[in-house]
Amino acid sequence: MTNYIEQIRELDDRLVVELSFKRVDQFFDRDDPSPIGQRDLSGDAEDAVISAIIDREPTKPVEYVIRFPASEVTPEVETGLPLAFRTYFKYRCEGAKRNLRVLRKRIKYGLITGLGISAVLILIGSYAFSWHTQDVWGAIIIGAIVIFCWVALWDPIDVFLHHYLMSKGTIRLGMKRVITSTVRVEKSGIWIDGMPEKN
């Protein structure tokens, strides 16, 4: 169960994402003692911010409206939250870019190693197969070489398909779009359950 309410409106000129929280401390990491403007976001807030736009129109600018009950919104929250929001996602984007560089190196050296091992195995296999063309040993040797070649190339292929492409897509579709968005804090009344009213 989430601790926020999400509303998304697709206007002609922008995408408006409204996120309502009961308390300001739900939006931030509770273990971060920094001032509001330097604080990390909570996992729920990060997920809400990214998931709201990940499958939406990618060319429209995004406007985030972060809503809290009026009693929770101090001047520090009004000015500090947008700064913390942008700083946090800039930091995450830079970290993701560094991770991409590491993954590229891992793919590069993994391919070099895997292709080198595969070439050696293929040479051994062609030599062995010439001696055992008609018996079961030839089939076993060829089968073993195919398996070893696949194992040697598994890691770079796996990293490329499941880590590199996903990270690159997250940066392109999510992080960069969040960084260039506008963010504002709104005060609101309270429903009986403590959640902010919809404006």
Full-model pTM: 0.69
Secondary structure (3-state) at 168: helix
Task: Give pLDDT tens digits along the chain (199 positions).
Answer: 457 888 888 888 899 999 999 888 899 988 888 888 889 999 888 888 888 887 777 778 899 999 998 888 899 999 999 999 999 988 888 888 888 899 999 999 999 998 898 888 888 777 766 665 566 776 777 778 888 888 888 999 999 988 888 778 777 766 778 888 999 998 887 765 656 666 5
Pull the structure tokens for residue 33.
């003692």
Q: How far apart are CA 60 and CA 124, in angstroms?
A: 57
Q: Hey, what's the torsion of the CAs at 29, 34, 35, 39, to 10 degrees?
A: -40
58 contacts 72 by C-beta, under 8 angstroms: no
Q: Starting at the edge strand that comes first in sequence, how are the strands of the sheet with 4-10 ordered?
A: 4-10, 15-21, 62-69, 182-188
